[in-house]
Amino acid sequence: MRGPIRSDLLFACPHTNRLIETGLDTDAKSLGKMWQEKLALSCPHCGMTHNLVIREAFLEHVLRSGVGHELSSATVRADGKMQN
């Protein structure tokens, strides 16, 4: 029996709209449990520290596969930027 699909937790930089890789491996169930938690990330794109809420995160496998397309009009471009 296979377990839940695990994937890297990603955020979009609020200034550049490029994806920030957190290095945190999680699954949808765990993500739901952390929904209200906050995370401070040093952004490699703009150099600032972003204080983000977990509910603003994306699971990499969902973005890369297009599975969540119905839930959001945002897509990931090849350069890692989000576009609507």
pLDDT digits (tens, 9 = 90+) for 3-61: 667 778 888 899 998 988 888 888 778 878 888 889 999 999 999 999 998 888 877 65
53 touches 36 (CB < 8 A): yes
- Please indicate, yes or no, if residue 12 is contained in any of the structural domains: yes
Domain assignment present for residue 49? The answer is yes
Q: How many CA atoms lie within 13 A of 75 on its CB side?
A: 7
In a domain, 26, yes or no: yes
Range of the domain at 12: 7-78
**What pLDDT shows up at residue 49?**
96
Q: Is residue 1 part of a domain?
A: no
Asked whether residue 24 is assigned to any structural domain, the reply reads yes
The yes-or-no verdict on residue 71 having pLDDT over 70 is no
> Is residue 48 situated within a structural domain?
yes
Q: How far is CA 46 from CA 11, 17, 20, 25, 28, in A?
A: 13, 10, 10, 23, 28
Model confidence at 67, pLDDT cuts 50, 70, 90, reads very low
Domain count, the chain: 1
Q: Which amino acid is at 38?
A: K
Asked if residue 56 belongs to a domain, the reply is yes
Whether 57 is covered by a domain: the verdict is yes
pLDDT score, position 69: 39
